[in-house]
Structure 1
Amino acid sequence: MMLLLFVILIFYLNFDLSFGATFTVYSQTKSVRVSVGEDALFNCYLKPEINAENMEIKWLRSQDSSLVHHYRNGRDETVNTDFYGRIQLIKDEIKRGNISLRIQNIKVSDEGSYTCYFQNENMFDEDTTEILPVAIGTGPEFQIEYYSSDKMDVSCFSSHWYPKPEAYWIDNNSKRLQAHSISVTSNEANMYSVKISIYFNKTAKKISCLIQNAQPGGLRLASIHIADSLFPEISGLVASISINVLLPIILIVILYVRDALHQRKRKKVEVNLDPDTAHPDLEVSEDHKRLSHTPIRKDVQMNDRRFDTQLYVVGAEPLRKGKCYWQVNVQNAAHWTIGVARDNVNRIGKINVLPKEGFWTIERINNDYKALANINVPIQIFGKLQTVGVYVNVNKCKLIFFNNGNGKILYKYEDTSLNKVPLLPFFSIWTPAESIHLCSKDCPHCVPNVSNKTTNILPQNFNQNNLDQV
């Protein structure tokens, strides 16, 4: 009997050695939650520990069974073109049956289940892991537009979210408030942006914008407090008459009179381009108001004031103290940069257009708008941007860009470095056959169908005092 059992055991061992040991494939985790732009790591291993060097190992996308990465005969290759340059197979412990796959720079499009497949000559097994890309958005940022004497329209904006976020306005007691509009849009990378607007009542004082998605930690919260001084004051007599009919007329008259009374106090700046600072590929018009990119490099004298490598130009007069305001018509250009620069910035060689280098700007590249802060901040544009207003209060270290068509703030810089060295208006345009125009009282490009006497005033829902309190 013992001899029979011994023979059976020897037969079983020979069978196992001849046809290969059995194994099971395990994934260390069933789902991997990873931030967009970061790396995801899948661990797959065999039980029991078996040398997998001579096995065939595949990683497949479960939803369409497409082959992502393939290892066989000691060699591995990325098969799916969506992952070229982003796949790394980690084989440090392959002799123990442990192999990992790293996918770099995770995108929203990588979302889904992935199958880890091991096969030798006689058997195979597999297991599945899921990628869950997440992105917690920017901001939030606020935009303010006047509406009446006791309330204003306040918008909260945030971008770079995944999955789709929800947005709410809440009061000090975390009670949800009624928004009058909300929009959620996605870009080509399937990242979401959200904008939610509410009428801010003068008695509310403080409200908060809450944006979140269904992910751990996926929440952004910001509060806004609006001082009473930002609400236009309307007299009791005016309030007793028909507000709907007379209020727009009264506001225009008030702003016009206020502008006239403060003309002497306001530092009036006529901004002109300085052709002696322009890169040789830029063309400055004879009136120093139009900037274009010429396809033929100009034969100009180089000096230490001229930008020699990058397509930049600055204004002729420095902005030393006080308040300054100008407009730039950008409707004929798809790639431009506008803002201010310190008078002593480097103009030779490669230049980083950042506040820490002495530049405070916003930029458009095709349909993408952003503020070139030390960390770039996307700017959401609603409608067509034709004219950019630029307002500088040197004494208060404040720079505000806004859409001159609707008065909405595009971006605001508050930086103590803005008053350390005289500033110069700063401009750039990159695409041939395009141009931008500086607006002045005689400029026909910025405010069409309006008389020259009023083309240089601030938008009707802004004045300089209001801007200083934003």
Structure 2
Amino acid sequence: MNPFFLLDLSFILLVLLPWSLSGEFVVLGPQQTVIALVDRDVTFSCHLSPQLDAQHMDVIFFHNQSSLVHQYRYEKDYLKYQHLDYQGRTEFLHEHISRGNVALLLHRVQPSDEGKYRCYFASPTYNNEAEFQVDVASTGTPPHLHIEGAGNKKVRLVCTSAGWYPEPEVQWRNHQEESLSQGTTINKKENGLFSVETSITVSANSKENVSCVIGNPRLSQKLEASVSLAEALFPNVIHRMEIWIGIIVFLSITFLVIVIIIIFKWQKIKKAKVCNEEEADVTPETGFWIICLDNSDTYQAFSSPWIQLQLSVAPKTVGNFLDYETDTISFYNATEATHIHTFHDSFKEALRPWTCPGSFN
């Protein structure tokens, strides 16, 4: 065997054996600051190095200098000296205590829980502890904006919110992201949380948008409320304008619908008439020689008086023949080659054919 190896091994044993035999250990707690949220639960973990069985040890969590948060002794919870602030709010987690791992569960975190904590282990021969920081945080209610009169053609915008921890950061901004001067009051309530009232004074003629921004620097969270001064300062005017615009739009749409209905009905009535002897002013006396279809089933010849035509077959194509020599105009069923009607008159001027597929009135 290599003598150098024996020398190295002996050196290691010389170093470790005193540690193990004396029962010395190091306590390790949270390495980073613990952020605990108000009204929520939080867990603090601690463990021993080297890994040792801590079932028979005395384990205590302290808050700040002397407040006893929780004690584990005689292999069970020992709460005889527990501080009043923690009664009913702690739970010792010892599932892995045989490996030197324990944790404390703290229920319903309060602002007063903030501060330095110590995780203390004590065996019959040795004791040690770890210290760590717990910071408490809470995001408050959404900011509420309201307007108060300030006189001299100025108004005061007031922004309020509650339930913050620690003290929140407050800022007023316009739409250009510029900070506005403000007056801010922050009060600490009995429950340890902070309430905010902040305000700015603006001209009553201002029309810009402004925002009240309240943030928790510990959580990097911000809540914002915005208001348009034009709408906030002159709500009645804007409301009346909106009403009038609505009325005008409604009347315009209604008028358009009525016109469309009237046109539709007028066209329907007009078609139902195609031939009405009392209203028609197209006769041979006025220079018109016409036959027409009335009510989709009756054929009429416009003369004085009108003549109802008896047709055995409804014509699909109508042809007419003008004879100046005999002074006649004849109409024929072009597809059936049958005679429909002939007008007799005297023609002194040139005549032109006229076809009207709809009403001629």
- Shorter-chain TM-score: which interval? 0.5 to 0.7
Q: Which runs of 5 or more structure 2 residues have no equivalent in the other structure?
A: 237-361
Separation in 2 of the partners of 1:229 and 1:131? Answer: 43
1:83 to 83, 86, 89: 86
1:142 to 130, 142, 145: 145
Percent sequence identity over aligned pairs: 30
Partner of 1:188: 190
Deviation per CA, 1:22-74, whole angstroms, max 9, x where unpaired? 32110133421111111121110011211110111111123x32322111110
Matched, 1:164 2:167: yes
Deviation per CA, 1:418-459, whole angstroms, max 9, x where unpaired? xxxxxxxxxxxxxxxxxxxxxxxxxxxxxxxxxxxxxxxxxx
Paired residues of 1:149 and 1:231 also in contact (CA < 8 A): no
Separation in 1 of the partners of 2:144 and 2:13? Answer: 75
Partner of 2:56: 54
Deviation per CA, 1:198-217, whole angstroms, max 9, x where unpaired? 12333342100011233132
Separation in 1 of the partners of 2:233 and 2:74? Answer: 73
For the structure 1 residues 13 and 134, does the alpha-carbon distance in structure 2 shift closer, same or farther, using more than 3 Å as the test? closer
1:42 to 41, 44, 48: 44
Aligned pair count reads 228
Separation in 2 of the partners of 1:115 and 1:232? Answer: 58
Secondary structure of the 2:85 match is: helix
For the structure 1 residues 145 and 20, does the alpha-carbon distance in structure 2 shift closer, same or farther, using more than 3 Å as the test? same
Matched, 1:178 2:181: yes
Secondary structure of the 2:52 match is: coil
Separation in 2 of the partners of 1:229 and 1:119? Answer: 66
Larger Rg: 2
For the structure 1 residues 158 and 10, does the alpha-carbon distance in structure 2 shift closer, same or farther, using more than 3 Å as the test? closer
Partner of 1:133: 136
Deviation per CA, 1:139-195, whole angstroms, max 9, x where unpaired? 10011123458542210001111111232211112111122x321111111211111
- What displacement does 1:81 show? 1.4
For the structure 1 residues 9 and 108, does the alpha-carbon distance in structure 2 shift closer, same or farther, using more than 3 Å as the test? closer
Deviation per CA, 1:383-402, whole angstroms, max 9, x where unpaired? xxxxxxxxxxxxxxxxxxxx
- What displacement does 1:230 show? 3.3
Partner of 2:68: 67
The amino acid of 1:208's aligned partner reads: S
The amino acid of 1:101's aligned partner reads: L
- What displacement does 1:14 show? 8.2
For the structure 1 residues 104 and 7, does the alpha-carbon distance in structure 2 shift closer, same or farther, using more than 3 Å as the test? closer
Deviation per CA, 1:289-322, whole angstroms, max 9, x where unpaired? xxxxxxxxxxxxxxxxxxxxxxxxxxxxxxxxxx
Equivalent positions of 1:403-418 (< 5 A) are: none
Paired residues of 1:142 and 1:154 also in contact (CA < 8 A): yes
Secondary structure of the 1:174 match is: coil
Equivalent positions of 1:97-116 (< 5 A) are: 97-116=100-119
TM-score (norm 1): 0.44
Separation in 2 of the partners of 1:10 and 1:171? Answer: 71
Separation in 2 of the partners of 1:210 and 1:97? Answer: 47
For the structure 1 residues 191 and 228, does the alpha-carbon distance in structure 2 shift closer, same or farther, using more than 3 Å as the test? closer
Secondary structure of the 2:78 match is: strand
The amino acid of 1:109's aligned partner reads: S
Paired residues of 2:55 and 2:97 also in contact (CA < 8 A): yes
Paired residues of 1:149 and 1:232 also in contact (CA < 8 A): no
Q: Which runs of 5 or more structure 1 residues have no equivalent in the other structure?
A: 234-470
TM-score (norm 2): 0.57
